[in-house]
Amino acid sequence: MRCAVRPMELADIPQVVQIEKEAFPTQWPPTPFEREILHNRLAAYLVAYEVEDEQETHEVSGTSPAPPEARGTLETFVSGVRRLLGQEERGAPARAQKLVGFVGLWFMVNEAHVTAIAVRESHRRHGIGELLLMAATELSMERNEEIMTLEVRVSNLGAQALYEKYGFVKVGVRPEYYVDNREDALIMSTPQIGTASFQQEFHRLREAHFQRYGANHKRRLEPNV
């Protein structure tokens, strides 16, 4: 069974709320997803879902190069990027889908801020978090944002390793950022994502991810991401 990424729809909210509660049980208040989708023009949310029909991921066309065995998953989330940008008509999924993760973004002046990446516990360590991060990066590039930023717990070494793999570096600390245990947050930021060097490395990592997990990968992920 494969995993792909698309824009979040209103019908997805119950499942996304479950995933958020599971991934961030102490978070308060919960994310107002309906308001974010309907009224926050600066926000974008993508969901990862299980693909049951092998043909589904071959019914769209992508513009980014990828190896043939990777093209289905890549083209599906590129299609989602296009819908977010208004290049395709946005519609509800053709049938009920099992969601396994989501990523949230806020777009500010020349900056894409990753607000959350969450994956169902049953599907962690299968590459889903990395796939969501790739989709978020792809969307940020499509929007011509200059950098990406995020916060991460100082204790979450697995997530930090994933972000560092994709070019994020530690640029600061937010003391006592997390309300549940007053843990500090590391501020991480990418270099300019529009540069040839960043995009070349991004495409290399993306191809390596698809090569590793293939068409029938079981979707691995770093802890707590």
List the catalytic residue out of 36, 49, 138, 163. Answer: 163
In this structure, what token pair is assigned to residue 86? 């208004």
Host H or E run for residue 114: strand 111-119
**Torsion-angle region of residue 215: left (phi > 0), alpha (psi -120 to 50) or beta?**
alpha
Catalytic choice (151, 166, 213, 222) = 151
Neighbours of 18 (CB within 10 A): 12
Biggest CA-to-CA distance, the chain: 48
- Sheet of 185-189, strands arranged across: 2-7, 43-51, 99-108, 111-119, 147-153, 185-189, 169-174
CA distance 98 to 215: 18
Q: How far apart are the first and last CA of the chain?
A: 21
Is 151 annotated as catalytic?
yes
Residues marked as catalytic: 151, 163
